[in-house]
Structure formats: structure tokens, C-alpha cells
Amino acid sequence: MSDIKKRLVIIGGGFAGLSVAKKIDKSQWEVTIVDRHNYHSFPPLFYQVASSELEPSGITFPLRREMRARKVKGCRYRMGTVASIDTASRRVITEFEEIPYDKVIIAAGATNNFFGIDGLPDRVYTLKSVPEAIRCRNAILERLERAALLPQCDERRALLTFVVVGGGPTGVEIAGALGEMKRYIIRRDYPAIDREEVKVVLCEGTDRLLRTMSENSSKAALKDLGQLMVDVNLGKTMKSYDGRLITFADGTTINSATLIWTAGITGEPIALTGTEVKAGPGGRFIVDEYNRVTGLDDVFAIGDISCHADERFPRGCPQLAQPAIQQGRTLAENLNRRASEQWRPFSYKDKGSMATIGRNRAVVDMGKLHFSGWAAWMMWMFIHLISLLGMRNRAVVLLNWIWSYFSFSTSLRMILKTAEQPHKKAY
Amino acid sequence: MSDIKKRLVIIGGGFAGLSVAKKIDKSQWEVTIVDRHNYHSFPPLFYQVASSELEPSGITFPLRREMRARKVKGCRYRMGTVASIDTASRRVITEFEEIPYDKVIIAAGATNNFFGIDGLPDRVYTLKSVPEAIRCRNAILERLERAALLPQCDERRALLTFVVVGGGPTGVEIAGALGEMKRYIIRRDYPAIDREEVKVVLCEGTDRLLRTMSENSSKAALKDLGQLMVDVNLGKTMKSYDGRLITFADGTTINSATLIWTAGITGEPIALTGTEVKAGPGGRFIVDEYNRVTGLDDVFAIGDISCHADERFPRGCPQLAQPAIQQGRTLAENLNRRASEQWRPFSYKDKGSMATIGRNRAVVDMGKLHFSGWAAWMMWMFIHLISLLGMRNRAVVLLNWIWSYFSFSTSLRMILKTAEQPHKKAY
């Protein structure tokens, strides 16, 4: 081993990127993590930020603070949005600088896919980042405030109709949270709004919810959402949305001021220059069993932005935390090996999947085992709590959950914006 | 007493407005609180949001949740920014609606005064609202991230020079917090930045800090700031700022990318129509000893936006929480009285004032008693903790303070923005 460390650049400080950082041998590699955000965040709980159940600070953790953690020590963080990688000169290019690398790992994750539907990005609310979740929270609360000021009219009805498009875990979870808001919060906090006026609608294009999970879980989720007064529509595909009117493929329409879009994801856009290789379907980079981007020597991709098709997963691993973490770990171990050593191919160990629908309600699939209800909900909470970065965050999230469990409420329904132009109005 | 309740509109859900809401007789008055924000916030701790010591949610509390509290029950909240009050038709006018009143209380507080200095509102950072504090926090953290990517150069020096203009409590407190960041955080979190590169400068136009407090407290604050490596300049008046270069009246200049402006406040702009009466000096409404706006029958003003000059306070009460709370209480008691009863004139009971400069450092004035150091700091924390609304907030803030006391750090240094246009870049 030479004394000069090789330069490893990791694009993205999410589950995948941090998993590499923890396992990589810092005596061999000089590791740089580049991320547009100066924090790691916890996507499974974004919907709880949107529904005012948790504060953003509870599910985010500063990357620089993480760089001080025992396992990650020695890695450095640089802020930047990676627009492209020049594979010829081996440089990662951000808006601020060019970072040279010997090996680069693309772990930038996925963002929303709007499938080219006209005007959608500006009109819908999404849950793929903390800023998006905050925006969604502010929108939900503003709709309620605006409605409370209006007499019965179409506008008031549109403001009180919340439509979630997409019946995957995020869609089910945010619809459940909105159902709980309708059931427990409206009556107490908004005396000017009748609970029955609030409509929560969940639309899914296929014939079942949570279609990556078991039939049992799909059925349990459907039943739970019904009890929370969520109007679930299966086989319902959205065609267009003008900011008020949602039109579906079957010709029906809904008037809604708030459409939460959880129906599609695509890899974060990262261009490669100096090569013909580019991202494949769904914006994912095709990788081999070592997570090496096909056709390139020194470029790897892991997590949501990567795709390795095999017999078990003909369309690649599910885009979840577990595959990302496992791929990161395997890749780091391989990068740590001496030149003479054989690399170990990646194989995904499915530890199960879960979703929650509200208090005391969740569904869990673990291999052949499926269960739902209170036990599933407790397990869901435990797993999510221990997966958070930072003891303070775990303490704060636990405190919030206990508080809201017993009070049926939270004190987090603030419309908290950042004043980008604080003095625009007054001057 | 007639069966028909009189309509009382309170503009502002701050200390002053909520103090009225708590004391007012809800069987006599139909009370409406109008506020642009759907939350009450706690200005004494805004600087801790800016310095990443507390999360915004810890020092804000939803007004609708407060409306469920025992003392406030029966009051209603309506969202809106009050632009004017039509005294002829007795209506409060917001961007959404017109709210009729029998009596109206202006408790809208104060905002920043830039004294007409060219371009200042867009170029400086301020601490008069939670969104402004979040913006300031994001700016401070972004400066550090940007600087860490640059070689030694003027730009890097400007990014690492933080200038606070205004030596009142807020200026002293944010300068102290920045000093602590320099002393305890830089070395651990920003290995690419040398601690000595970070400059924290506090400029005050008069010859002493905290000029509303005792000489002893001023001296103690000056000494404490020195120990935190804050460069304090007294008798230094700012003339202009172009976003990089600060020019002072004495001709000297400082290159700084971050100017935090705490040097002036003015009442929130509220126009009165149907009368000649308007806000006086400092944007404050001149009131009599019953907090009635001089020249008007049914309009009252309390808190920072009001001014009643007497022998003790020839320029009106200090613009602090205590006078606001006391005025609100007295006014509510007067409004509760029967027509035949004499109103009680307001008289301010000064309970003392305090400021903190960092861990274990604070100054307290109580009548003739002045003390500083650890005891003052403990008292400062205790008073602020019990003054927060909501048990959850107290628990969260206390947890944060204990955590950061022992760890010399927090895990809150995230640049957390609201994605107003989340998909602008990608699409």
C-alpha cells in the first residue's frame, strides 16, 4: 500500500453515502462527502414534518457533526450541488468548485418524477426532501386558515379537500396523517370548520395500496385508512391538475387546492461528461454486482440512484433505506481490499418492510410473516427511532411521539417560513 | 350588562395581545385575535435560533392551540396582516377580510428601523421575527460553508467576518453567541477554517453597551464579550453598507459579508383611516394613561407599538415584554369594568432587566441590585424558561440547553430552508 491516499468522493450524505463513510478505511482513502444540504435527513419521517407531527430539526443531523463521530472521523464535508462528473479529467463539478477524485461514488438519491405532466412541479406538494416537507406543512396549515375565513363556497371546499396521489408507503402515510388531523385536530383547533367539510382523498393508479408489500398489508392499510375517514380510490390515474381542478383518466374530477404528489420518483439529475454513459430508466445508473457504473472504471453508484437487475429484482432493488445501506457497506468493504483480493458481489438481504397509517396502526412484512395493528406500530416506531442519527434527535422525536400520543395533538402547527426577503412588504 | 357581547379585536398575538386575551371577560367581550403568523413567538430567544442553539419550534407556539388554554378559551384567531384600521366604519382591514369591532387594541409590536439607509433592508440580517432569525441562521452557516471552500483571499475574509451593529440586549446576545461559536465550534466542525480567521465585531454608536441597563452591567458585558474574542467598538456609527463594505461615520471600513442589524426598531406599519391620527415618532401610537390612542375613542395601543410619556419615562416605556404584559393586563381589567366604574391608569412596575453573553455569563439589574456571572446566567435561564408558552416547548428548550452545556455544541446547525419553489433547479 502506498503512503499516498487515494481520493474518494462520495456524492450525497444520505443513508447510502454515510454507510460508505462509516466502513471505508480512512488510512487508505481520503474521503470527501459532497451534498447540497449541510445535513443528513431521514426520508421515512418526512411525512411527519408535513403533518406537523415532528419538527424538521428532529429528523435532520448536521453532516459536519456526523464527521466528528468515531466511525466517520477523517472524512470531510464540502457543500455543493453536483451537476456533473467529468470522467475524462476525473472531477466532480459543483456550482462552487471542481473536486478531483480517484474513485467517485454517486449516492445522490432520488427526487420526484412528474412524468412530464404539464405544470405539475409548480402546482403540487411533494415529500422528497425536508424543504419540500416544510413547504407541504405550511401549505396544509395555510389552507385551513384560509378556509376558516371564508363562508361556504367552492373555494372553501377546494381549500378543505386534500388529495394524495400515489398509494405507496409515503402516500399511505401522509393520507393517514391527514385522516388523523381530520379526526382529532379540526374540531379542537378550528371551531370555524366542521370536521365533515374536510375531505382526504387518496388516489392510486393500480388496483392496490402498498403494492411492494404483501396482499395482507395492502388490505390492512385500506381498512385502516377507511377508519380514518380517508376516501381511497384504486385504479384511479391522474391526467392533469391546474392548481384547482384534478382531472383523472376516467374523466372524473376533484376540486382541490392541495395535491400531494407521491406517485413517482427518479434519480437526481447528474450528467456524466467524457463518456457516452448516462443514467438509464427512472434516472438510475445501471451498475454491475459491485455497484460499478456499467462502462466506467472509477465511477460507482449506490442507493436509490443505482439499478442492478438480477433474477430476484428484475427492475433493480427497491428504492429504500436498507438496500442503500447494504450497498454502501459492501462497496466500502470492496474498496478497502488489496488489489490482489477478490471483490464480493452485492446481494440484498431483505429485512422486511413496513408502513404506518396512524396511531396504533401499521403494517409489517418480514419474509412470510405479516402483521398489523398495535404491535406493528410499536415495531415501526422502535425501528425508526433507533435509525435516527444523534441521541438528541432520538430523545426529541420520542418526546414528541409520547406527547402527541397522550394529548392527541402536537404544538407544532406553526406556518414557519424562512424570510428570504423579510422586508419586502414593509418597505 | 347587555346580552349582546361587544366585539373586541386584538391586533397581534404577542406578549401584549395574549395578556389582554387572558384577562378579558369573555362573557362581556367577543374577542378576535388577528395575527399574520399563526403562532405566538418569544423574541428574547430569537438570537438563539439565529445562532443554532434552539430550533424555531421551541420558541413558537400555535395561537390556535393557545386558544384552547383555560384562560384564553372563547377567544378566536384569524390569520391576516393588518394594513389599516378604518376608524369611521370601525373595521380592521387585512389582506383577506374586514373585521368589524366595537373596540380595537393595536398590539402589533415593532419591527426593524433602518433609518432610511440606502439598500440596508435587502443587505442586512435582522432578528425581529422567527423567519428573520431562521434567515440569519442560514446565512451564518452558509458563510462558513462557502469560506471552507475558498483559499485565503478577500472573499474568504469577508465571509468569516461577522459584524453586529447595535449594542443593545439583542446585539450583545447575538455577538456573544457568535463569539461562542468562534471559541467552541469552529475548531471541531470546520477543520478547513482556522479559528483566528473568524472575526466577530460589535459596533455601538454610543459610548457604552446595554445603555438601558446599569453602568455595572455595561462593564460586565464588555468584559465578557472580550473574553469571547468579540471585538467591541464603542462610539462607532455606521454610515453605509453595500453588501460587502461597511463604512463608518469616522471614515473607517470593514469588509464583511454578514451584517446583523440590531440598531433600531419602529412600530409595525398600521395606517388609520377616517381620522387625522397617525403613529408618532418611532412608529409608536401616542396613548394616554389608559392606553387609549390619543384622539380616538375606541382604539387602544399596548406594547412596543404604543408610547405614553410620563416623568419616569419621558420617551415612553421601554419596548420590552414586561411593559407589554402589564399594559395588556391593566387594559383588560379596565375594559372589564362596568360603565360606572373608574378606570385605573397604567403604571409600569419595573421588575428588572437582564441580558446573557454566553455560557455562565449574564448581567441582571433589579432595582439597585446588579449582578453578573453564573448566578445571573442561571436566573436568566430560569426566567426565560418559565416565560415560554407550552410545557413541551419548555421541556425541549431545557433539554437543548442542558445538552449544549455539557457538549459545548448543538446538533442544530442545519441550513433549513422552506422550498418555496422546490423544483426550480431540476426542471
HEC profile for chain B? CCCCCEEEEEECCCHHHHHHHHHCCCCCEEEEEEECCCEEECHHHHHHHHCCCCCHHHHEEEHHHHCCCCCCCCCEEEECCEEEEECCCCEEEECCCEEECCEEEECCCEEECCCCCCCHHHHCECCCCHHHHHHHHHHHHHHHHHHHCCCCCHHHHHHCEEEEECCCHHHHHHHHHHHHHHHHHHHHHCCCCCHHHCEEEEEECCCCCCCCCCHHHHHHHHHHHHHCCEEEEECCCEEEECCCEEEECCCCEEECCEEEECCCEEECCCEEECCCCCCCHHHCEEECCCCEECCCCCEEECHHHEECCCCCCCCCCCCCHHHHHHHHHHHHHHHHCCCCCCCCCCCCCCCCEEEEEECCEEEEEECCEEEECHHHHHHHHHHHHHHCCCHHHHHHHHHHHHHHHHHCCCCCCCCCCCCCCCCCCCC
CATH class belonging to A6-112+265-336:
alpha beta
pLDDT score recorded for residue B426: 33
Q: Is the pLDDT reported for residue B1 higher than 80?
A: no
pLDDT score recorded for residue A280: 95
B143-198 residue pLDDT tens: 999 999 999 999 999 999 999 999 999 999 999 999 999 999 999 999 999 999 99
CATH 3.50.50.100 correct for B120-263+353-407 = yes
User: Which residues of chain A are in CATH 3.50.50.60 domains?
Assistant: 6-112+265-336, 120-263
pLDDT score recorded for residue A219: 96
Q: Is the pLDDT reported for residue B265 higher than 70?
A: yes
pLDDT score recorded for residue A427: 29
Query: DSSP alpha helices (H): ranges in A14-69?
Result: 15-23, 46-50, 63-66
Q: Is A392–B409 a contact, with Cβ atoms under 8 angstroms apart?
A: no
Taking residues A293-318, report their average pLDDT.
94
pLDDT score recorded for residue B2: 53
- What are the φ/ψ torsions at residue A53 (nearest 5 degrees)? -90, -25
Q: Is the pLDDT reported for residue B235 higher than 70?
A: yes
> Nearest by CB to B61, which of A37, A393, A411?
A411
CATH class belonging to A120-263:
alpha beta
> Nearest by CB to B62, which of A121, A126, A413?
A413
Taking residues A56-65, report their average pLDDT.
95
Q: Is B420–A420 a contact, with Cβ atoms under 8 angstroms apart?
A: yes
Q: Is the pLDDT reported for residue B353 higher than 70?
A: yes
pLDDT score recorded for residue B421: 54
Taking residues A231-237, report their average pLDDT.
97
Task: Name the pLDDT band for A417 (thresholds 50, 70, 90).
Answer: confident
Q: Is the pLDDT reported for residue B420 higher than 80?
A: no
A63-94 residue pLDDT tens: 999 999 999 999 999 999 999 999 999 999 99
Q: Is the pLDDT reported for residue B368 higher than 50?
A: yes
**Residue position matching grid coordinates 405566538:** B40
Q: Give yes or no for A425 touching B (CB within 8 A).
A: yes
Question: What residues of chain B lie within 8 A of the CB of A62, using their CB?
Answer: 189, 411-414
Output the CA angle B315-B320-B325, nearest 5 degrees. 110
User: Which residues of chain B are in CATH 3.50.50.60 domains?
Assistant: 6-36+80-112+265-336
Taking residues B127-133, report their average pLDDT.
96
pLDDT score recorded for residue A425: 41
A272-294 residue pLDDT tens: 999 999 999 999 999 999 999 99
The percent of chain A in helix, strand and coil, each rounded to the nearest 5, is: 35, 25, 40
Give A 224-253 residues with CB within 8 A of chain B.
none
Taking residues A255-271, report their average pLDDT.
97
Q: Is the pLDDT reported for residue A223 higher than 60?
A: yes
Average pLDDT of chain A is 94
A334-363 residue pLDDT tens: 999 998 999 999 999 999 999 999 889 999
pLDDT score recorded for residue A415: 93
User: Which residues of chain B are in CATH 3.50.50.100 domains?
Assistant: 120-263+353-407
Taking residues A161-183, report their average pLDDT.
97
Minimal-distance CA residue of chain A relative to B99: A149
Cα(first)–Cα(last) distance of chain B, in Å? Answer: 63
Q: Is B189–A121 a contact, with Cβ atoms under 8 angstroms apart?
A: no
B378-406 residue pLDDT tens: 999 999 999 998 888 898 899 889 988 88
Q: Is the pLDDT reported for residue B232 higher than 50?
A: yes
> Nearest by CB to B57, which of A149, A191, A414?
A414
Q: Is B427–A121 a contact, with Cβ atoms under 8 angstroms apart?
A: yes
Question: What residues of chain B lie within 8 A of the CB of A37, using their CB?
Answer: 414-415
Q: Which of A230-244, B2-16, B95-109 is least confident?
A: B2-16
pLDDT score recorded for residue A410: 81
**Residue position matching grid coordinates 418611532:** B282
A313-333 residue pLDDT tens: 999 999 999 999 999 999 999
pLDDT score recorded for residue B425: 41
Average pLDDT of chain B is 94
Question: What residues of chain A lie within 8 A of the CB of B181, using their CB?
Answer: none
Taking residues B5-15, report their average pLDDT.
97
Q: Is A409–B189 a contact, with Cβ atoms under 8 angstroms apart?
A: no
Residue A81, classed as helix, strand or coil, is coil
Pick the CATH number of B6-36+80-112+265-336 from 3.50.50.60, 3.30.590.10, 3.20.20.150, 3.40.47.10: 3.50.50.60
Q: Is the pLDDT reported for residue B407 higher than 90?
A: no
* Distance, CA of B77 to CA of A144 (rounded, Å): 12
pLDDT score recorded for residue B424: 45
Taking residues A250-261, report their average pLDDT.
98
Task: Name the pLDDT band for A421 (thresholds 50, 70, 90).
Answer: low
Q: Is the pLDDT reported for residue A151 higher than 60?
A: yes
pLDDT score recorded for residue A404: 87
pLDDT score recorded for residue B408: 83
Q: Is the pLDDT reported for residue A423 higher than 60?
A: no
> Nearest by CB to B57, which of A55, A390, A393?
A55
pLDDT score recorded for residue B418: 80
Q: Give yes or no for A368 touching B (CB within 8 A).
A: no
B299-313 residue pLDDT tens: 999 999 999 998 889
Q: What is the value of ipTM here, to two decimals?
A: 0.93
B324-342 residue pLDDT tens: 999 999 999 999 999 899 9
Q: Give yes or no for B417 touching A (CB within 8 A).
A: yes
Task: Name the pLDDT band for B291 (thresholds 50, 70, 90).
Answer: very high
Taking residues A19-45, report their average pLDDT.
97
Task: Name the pLDDT band for B417 (thresholds 50, 70, 90).
Answer: confident
Minimal-distance CA residue of chain A relative to B422: A132
Minimal-distance CA residue of chain A relative to B427: A121
Q: Give yes or no for A157 touching B (CB within 8 A).
A: no
Q: Give yes or no for A269 touching B (CB within 8 A).
A: yes
